[in-house]
């Protein structure tokens, strides 16, 4: 390129005013750089339509930078590749390992969903194809190029990329672009999902040195989480209390990060004898596979110092000697009849599918059962109905009375809350010329904008879906 372009632009395509389908496009001269390529989650028709829509023709996209492995950030990649993208996908090494598990699982769900739809609608002659299959995932995985944190790499001529620790999940990164324009180099930072200042499992997010344009997530822009370290006492209380009642504790849990965090806490509580010996089962092949990736990257800098020290000293932060990881379906079924007090962790995290449904079907009607909710429950999900205190719920098409006690642990979010987000922005020196609030419902974005205004931080924008900003 003889002359750098005078301007570049950012197109907010997905995950602007919503917490799903993260996709933003940086256009620089003839280059099109995609930040994340998430899958939309929600009602089938809208989710499929939105997932199929890209901010530019996939064949015309030059480069992709991926913040982390969660499906709402990565799950559109196999479709992008299927539709003709043939460039590189930049990410960190743990993200690449996690992607194999996350995207394969997503492909299997797509294939099953299409099969189910086609069976139900066969008489009407309706037929859908899966968004992508496992072959598309293999092609996507071959396009990955891994980088360490804080080590710049060329993206296209005139643009340099770097990843910084985002503190959200293993290997999660903020994406930094140094963009050469006619007059100067401009620095764009996209936080992806941002972690918290204090976390049991993750190291806090890094504060980058120079940011002109900030794209920051706002999932909890209007919320304050309770202190994370109270989670251990909360959990110990529940377990010790249920000792009296001898009933099982069911924990619907996300396979990536939340399960490993809970296991780490439980392992510590057991060793410190703050809880009595109890059978603990992680009833999820996916969680077991992800835990293996954590084992491989146990010294990774994105994990907290407390965790890394524990891993070096004790060698077993995932309780491989005490906790049972259940893979086979037959073993999962047998858990019902195992004697003694027990904790069963199983997916899905919002009780929308997976093995947790079988345990709920068997145990939700008993007053001795404790159902411990440890993550966000989206509206419309079974998990949400249970949190809201419904005494009758439908599981596999049949109504069940709810006699189990429902407890909610809100301490363990892997997303920054309003305090963390405000701290992060205030820590940037000098202040960004422009801050774009993304990946949050409008109420969360408005709440954070208001908070920032009170702190003298203006030039804050809440972009709409499809909006384009020309920057220099
Ligand atoms: Zn995430």
DSSP 123: G
Say yes or no to pLDDT of 141 above 90. Answer: yes
**Which of 376, 408, 440 finishes a domain?**
408
Measured from the Cβ of residue 466, the count of other Cβ atoms closer than 10 Å reads 12
CA of 215 to the centre of ligand 1 (A): 15
Average pLDDT over residues 46-61: 90
Same-domain status, 308 and 401 = yes
DSSP per-residue codes, 29-59: TTEEEEE--PPP-SSHHHHHHHHH--SS-GG
The pLDDT, as a whole number, for residue 337 is: 87
pLDDT beyond 70 at 393:
yes
Q: What is the pLDDT of residue 378?
A: 80
Q: Which of 385, 408, 431 is the endpoint of a domain?
A: 408
Cα 37 to ligand 1 centre (Å): 12
Q: Would you say residue 169 lies in a domain?
A: yes
In-domain check, residue 438: yes
422: domain CATH number is 3.60.15.10
443's CB contacts (< 8 A; 6+ apart) are 222
Cα-to-centroid distance, 296 and ligand 1 (Å): 20
Distance 246 CA to ligand 1 centre (A): 35
If you measure from the C-alpha of residue 271 to the centroid of ligand 1, how many angstroms do you get, rounded to a whole number?
30
312 alpha carbon, distance to own chain's centre: 27
Claim to verify: residue 235 and residue 218 sit in the same structural domain: no
Q: What are phi and psi of 88, to 5 degrees?
A: -90, 150
Lowest-pLDDT range of 99-108, 212-221, 315-324: 315-324
pLDDT in tens, 331-364: 999 998 888 889 999 998 999 888 999 999 999 9
162 and 300 within one domain: no
pLDDT recorded at residue 322: 87
- Asked if residue 3 is part of any domain, the answer here is no
Domain count, the chain: 2
In a domain, 371, yes or no: yes
| Residue 214 is assigned to a structural domain of this protein | yes
Give me ligand 1 centre to Cα 74, in Å: 10
- The reply to whether 371 and 454 lie within a common domain is no
CA of 68 to the centre of ligand 1 (A): 7
Does residue 2 surpass a pLDDT of 70? no
pLDDT tens digit string along 271-301? 999 998 899 999 999 999 999 999 999 999 9
Report CA(168)–ligand 1 centroid distance (Å): 7
- Please indicate, yes or no, if residue 2 is contained in any of the structural domains: no
Q: Are residues 240 and 218 in the same domain?
A: no
- Evaluate the CA torsion angle 111, 113, 116, 118 in order and state its sign: negative
**Residue 304 counted as domain residue:** yes
Distance 263 CA to ligand 1 centre (A): 19
Tell me, in angstroms, the distance from the centre of ligand 1 to residue 4's CA.
Answer: 34
Compute the distance from residue 375 Cα to the ligand 1 centre, in Å.
13
- Domain termination residue (choose one: 408, 425, 460): 408
Residue ranges with strand state E in 19-140: 23-28, 31-35, 63-65, 89-92
Whole-angstrom Cα distance, residue 34 to residue 31?
Answer: 10
From ligand 1's centre to the CA of 270, what distance in Å? 29
Categorize the per-residue pLDDT at 22 as very low, low, confident or very high, splitting at 50, 70 and 90: confident
pLDDT of residue 1: 57
Q: 0.85 cut: is pTM over it? A: yes
Shared-domain flag, residues 393 and 264? yes
Do residues 30 and 137 both lie within one domain?
yes
Report the percentage of the chain scoring pLDDT > 70.
98
DSSP 8-class letter at 202: B
Sheet holding 8-14, edge to edge: 144-147, 89-92, 63-65, 31-35, 23-28, 8-14, 468-471
Judge if 25 and 72 occupy the same domain: yes
Whole-number Å distance, alpha carbon 45 to ligand 1 midpoint, is 23
Domain that holds residue 370: 230-408
Note the pLDDT tens digit of each residue in 412-469: 999 999 999 999 999 999 999 999 999 988 999 999 999 999 999 999 999 998 999 9
- Cis peptide before 104, with omega less than 30 degrees from 0? no
Q: Ligand 1 centre from 211 Cα, in Å?
A: 22
Judged against a pLDDT cut of 60, whether residue 146 lies above it is answered with yes
Residues 147 and 163 in one domain: yes
**Residue (of 8, 59, 31) closest to 155 by Cα position:** 31
139 and 30 in a common domain: yes
Residue 372 Cα to ligand 1 middle (Å) = 22
What number is the average pLDDT over the span 128-134? 93
Task: State the pLDDT at residue 316.
Answer: 87
Distance of CA 70 from the midpoint of ligand 1 (Å): 5
- Give me ligand 1 centre to Cα 87, in Å: 24
More confident residue, 17 or 387: 387
Decide if 1 is inside a domain. Answer: no
Tokens of 105: 């699982």
CATH classification of the domain holding 327: 3.40.50.10890
CA of 277 to the centre of ligand 1 (A): 33
β-pair type (279-282, 323-325): parallel
At 196, list the tokens: 């918290």
Nearest to 178 by CA among 206, 209, 147, 202: 209
Q: Would you call 159 helix, strand, or coil by DSSP?
A: strand
Q: Is the pLDDT of residue 43 over 80?
A: no
Rounded to the nearest whole angstrom, what is the distance from the C-alpha of residue 71 to the centroid of ligand 1? Answer: 8
Whole-number Å distance, alpha carbon 190 to ligand 1 midpoint, is 13
CA torsion 78-84-86-90 (nearest 10°) is -40
* Domain shared by 279 and 251, yes or no: yes
Whole-angstrom distance, CA of residue 372 vs CA of residue 439: 27
Ligand 1 geometric centre to CA of 19 (Å): 10
Comparing 49 with 288, the larger pLDDT belongs to 288
Distance between Cα 362 and ligand 1 center (Å) = 31
* Structure confidence at residue 295 (pLDDT): 93
Place 16 in a pLDDT band, splitting at 50, 70 and 90. low
In angstroms, what is the span from residue 61 Cα to ligand 1's centroid?
23
Give exposure, 13-46, as e/b (b: 16+ Cβ within 10 Å): bbbbbbbbbbbbbbbbbebbbbbbbbbbbeeeee
Cα(140) to ligand 1 centroid in Å equals: 19
Tell me the CA–centroid distance for residue 366 and ligand 1, in Å: 34
pLDDT digits (tens, 9 = 90+) for 225-276: 999 999 999 999 999 986 566 789 999 999 999 999 999 999 999 999 999 8
Quote the mean pLDDT of the chain. Answer: 93
C-alpha of residue 193 to centroid of ligand 1, in Å? 5
Q: How far is the CA of 205 from the centre of ligand 1 (A)?
A: 14
What is the per-residue pLDDT across 188-224, written as a single tens digit (0 to 9) for each? Answer: 999 999 999 999 999 999 999 999 999 999 999 999 9
Q: Are residues 244 and 149 in the same domain?
A: no
Sign of the torsion formed by the C-alpha atoms of 219, 223, 229 and 231? negative
Question: Minimal CA–CA distance to 37: which of 3, 2, 61?
Answer: 61
Determine the pLDDT at residue 242.
63
């Amino acid at each position: 390129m003889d002359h750098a372009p005078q301007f570049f632009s950012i197109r907010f395509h997905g995950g602007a005013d919503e917490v799903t389908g993260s996709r933003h496009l940086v256009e620089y001269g003839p280059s099109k750089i995609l930040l994340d390529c998430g899958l939309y989650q929600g009602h089938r028709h809208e989710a499929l339509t939105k997932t199929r829509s890209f901010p530019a023709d996939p064949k015309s996209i030059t480069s992709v930078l991926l913040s982390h492995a969660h499906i709402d950030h990565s799950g559109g990649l196999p479709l992008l590749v299927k539709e003709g993208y043939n460039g590189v996908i930049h990410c960190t090494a743990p993200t690449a390992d996690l992607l194999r598990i996350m995207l394969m699982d997503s492909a299997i769900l797509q294939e099953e969903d299409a099969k189910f739809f086609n069976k139900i609608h066969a008489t009407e002659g309706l037929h859908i194809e899966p968004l992508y299959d496992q072959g598309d995932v293999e092609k996507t995985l071959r396009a990955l190029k891994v980088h360490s944190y804080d080590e710049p790499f060329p993206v296209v001529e005139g643009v340099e990329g770097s990843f910084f620790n985002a503190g959200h999940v293993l290997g999660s990164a903020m994406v930094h672009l140094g963009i050469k324009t006619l007059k100067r180099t401009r620095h764009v930072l996209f936080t992806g999902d941002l972690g918290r200042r204090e976390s049991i499992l993750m190291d806090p997010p890094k504060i980058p040195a120079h940011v002109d344009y900030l794209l920051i997530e706002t999932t909890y822009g209007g919320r304050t989480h309770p202190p994370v370290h109270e989670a251990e006492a909360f959990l110990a209380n529940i377990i010790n209390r249920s000792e009296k009642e001898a009933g099982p504790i069911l924990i619907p849990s996300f396979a990536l990060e939340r399960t490993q965090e809970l296991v780490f806490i439980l392992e510590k509580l057991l060793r410190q004898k703050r809880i009595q010996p109890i059978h603990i089962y992680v009833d999820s092949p996916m969680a077991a596979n992800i835990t293996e990736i954590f084992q491989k990257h146990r010294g990774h800098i994105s994990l907290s110092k407390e965790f890394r020290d524990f891993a070096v000293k004790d060698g077993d932060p995932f309780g491989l000697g005490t906790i049972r990881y259940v893979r086979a379906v037959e073993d999962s079924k047998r858990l019902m009849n195992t004697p003694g007090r027990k904790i069963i962790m199983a997916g899905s995290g919002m009780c929308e599918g997976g093995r947790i449904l079988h345990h709920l079907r068997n145990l939700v009607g008993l007053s001795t059962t404790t159902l411990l909710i440890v993550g966000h429950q989206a509206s419309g999900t079974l998990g949400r109905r249970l949190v809201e205190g419904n005494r009758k719920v439908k599981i596999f098409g049949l109504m069940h009375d709810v006699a189990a006690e429902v407890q909610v642990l809100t301490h363990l979010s892997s997303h920054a809350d309003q305090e963390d987000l405000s701290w992060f922005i205030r820590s940037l020196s000098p202040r960004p010329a422009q801050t774009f609030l993304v990946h949050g419902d409008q109420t969360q974005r408005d709440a954070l904008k208001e908070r920032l205004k009170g702190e003298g931080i203006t030039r804050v924008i809440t972009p709409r879906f499809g909006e384009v900003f020309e920057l220099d």
